[in-house]
Amino acid sequence: MHATRAIVRMMSSRSSQRGPVGWTALALCGTAGAGLAVYYNVEKERRQTQATTKQTTHGKPSLGGSWTLVSSKTGYPVTDASYRGRYTLLYFGFTRCPDICPAELVKVGEVLALLKARRGPEVQALFVSLDPKRDSLEQLRFYARDFDDRIDFLVGTPEQIKTAARRYRVYSSIADGDQDSDDYLIDHSIVLYLNGPDGGFLDFFTQSTNARDVVAGIMKHCG
């Protein structure tokens, strides 16, 4: 339901928009059919605009880059460089997300289990909170108990989170509710980002990609 509102917001603020919303916004939290139809129109228009602004795009989109956050596992700062030598699977969300984020995190757990069963590469799964106001380290630790314990839950200052999200063109916006109270939802992209052992972005998987196909996608990149 709240995705529709986000789409309307995107449409109305498009001319003054700063960061590129990008294709990642294709998958918004709680996307409804009607909203999606509207979105595709927005997306089409955006593509047309892009085509006229002479953009050069080769192969994969330029996603990824440096960021600094805090690990709720250790309580210490981590950066993208902390995970060199390992694949990372990055997801952005918030712990009060009613359904989408939990479902994606369950999927990530399935991905990790499948990878292990198939003797795939070591993949560090990371959840980045888009909700620094409510997602304290303590809250993240509490939330993490419901999911695979190999997932590390990260948060940071609003600025740090903004930077990390921007690196992956993650869209997020306060939706229903009051930001001054603790009662609000956040519309956000629902995408898993795969990065290689060198930290470089390799691939992304949308909400519609099931665990098996995510694993296949990961294996493809580390054959």
Binding site for Ni ion (CB under 5 A): 29, 93, 97, 100-101
Q: Closest separation between CB of residue 28 and Ni ion, Å?
A: 9
Q: Closest separation between CB of residue 95 and Ni ion, Å?
A: 9
Asked if 147 contacts 111 with a C-beta cutoff of 8 angstroms, the reply is: no
Q: Which is nearer to Ni ion, 110 or 222 (CB)?
A: 110
CA distance 175 to 6: 7
Q: Quote the crossing angle between the two packed helices 211-221 and 100-117, to the nearest 10°.
A: 50
User: How many Cα atoms occupy the beta-carbon half-sphere of 158 within 13 Å?
Assistant: 4
Burial class (CB in 10 A: 0-12, 13-18, 19+), 189: buried
Q: Which residue number places its CB atom closest to Ni ion?
A: 97
Q: Which is nearer to Ni ion, 188 or 202 (CB)?
A: 188
Q: Which is nearer to Ni ion, 28 or 202 (CB)?
A: 28
Q: Which is nearer to Ni ion, 97 or 170 (CB)?
A: 97
Q: Tell me which residue has tokens 């694949």.
A: 87
- Residue type for 64, please? G
Q: Closest separation between CB of residue 30 and Ni ion, Å?
A: 8
Q: Which is nearer to Ni ion, 82 or 147 (CB)?
A: 147
Asked if 188 contacts 172 with a C-beta cutoff of 8 angstroms, the reply is: yes
Q: Closest separation between CB of residue 185 and Ni ion, Å?
A: 8
